[in-house]
Chain A
Amino acid sequence: GQSLEQPSEVTAVEGAIVQINCTYQTSGFYGLSWYQQHDGGAPTFLSYNALDGLEETGRFSSFLSRSDSYGYLLLQELQMKDSASYFCANNTNAGKSTFGDGTTLTVKP
C-alpha cells in the first residue's frame, strides 16, 4: 500500500528555520509534492520534487531522496502567517496523489 509519515505538530519562533520531514512507501512513485493549508482554506501547492536534490522557491525549499524514500520541506525566516498545516503527497503513475495526515506548524512571536 501507500502511506506517508510526517510529524503531527511542529512549533517554532518567528525568524527561525523549521524542517518538516516526510517518509513514504509506494510503488510507481513519480514525485513528492508539498502543500500548505490554512484553517478553513484549500491546500495550496508549494513545491514538487521528481528528482533527488533540493528545490528552492523563496523562503521554502524541498528535498527528496528517492533511495531513502524520504523528503523534507524547509521553511526559512518564519513568519506568523506560516502557521498552517503542511502536507506531503506522493504522485504515482496511477494518476492519483496520496497525502500524509499533515503537520501543524505553529509559529510563535
Chain B
Amino acid sequence: ETGVTQSPTHLIKTRGQQVTLRCSSQSGHNTVSWYQQALGQGPQFIFQYYREEENGRGNFPPRFSGLQFPNYSSELNVNALELDDSALYLCASSRLAGDQETQYFGPGTRLLVL
C-alpha cells in the first residue's frame, strides 16, 4: 500500500457528461500528478499540481482540468466526456515537484464512457 487513495474505484458515464475523480496523497507529499492509462499502454501524463498550482501539463485538451487543495488532495475534472476517455486514471504523489525520483501511485479509477 502506498498511502495514496482514489475514489471512486469504478465509474460509468455517458458521452457528453462530466466527471470528477478524487485523490488523497501520501502524508507529507505536496505534489500530485494525474495520468491516463489506456488498455495496453503506459500511463500518459495529464498534469501535475504542486502546492495548489498547476506545475506542468501534458497533451490533453482544456476539458481536462484539476484542483489541488490545501491538504494536498486533488481532483481531476473531465468535461464533455468522449468515448476515448475510457481508461484507468491514476494519481501519483511525490515529495518534490520536478524531481520525481519516487512517485507513489494510487489504485486508480477505471472510467468507462458509453
Interface positions of A (Cβ within 8 A of B) = 30-31, 33, 35, 41-45, 48, 50, 87, 89, 91, 93-102
Whether A41 lies near B107 (C-beta < 8 A) is: yes
B40 contacts which chain A residues (CB < 8 A)?
101
> Count of A-B contacts with CB under 8 A?
71
Alpha-carbon gap, A35 to B43, bound state (A): 11
Whether A95 lies near B98 (C-beta < 8 A) is: yes
Of A30, A93, A94, A99, which contacts B42 at CB under 8 A?
A99
Q: Does B14 contact A (CB under 8 A)?
A: no
Of A41, A48, A93, A97, which contacts B33 at CB under 8 A?
A97
A-B pairs, top 8 by smallest CB distance, nearest first, are A99-B42, A95-B56, A42-B105, A96-B45, A96-B56, A91-B100, A95-B98, A95-B55
Q: Does B66 contact A (CB under 8 A)?
A: no
A-contact bits for B72-114, CB 8 A (1 contact / 0 none): 0000000000000000001010000111111111111000000
Q: Known: A41-B107, A45-B102, A48-B102. Is A96-B33 also a contact (CB below 8 A)? A: yes
Please report which residues of chain B, range 1-41, place their CB below 8 angstroms from some CB of chain A when the two chains form the complex. Answer: 2, 33, 35, 40-41
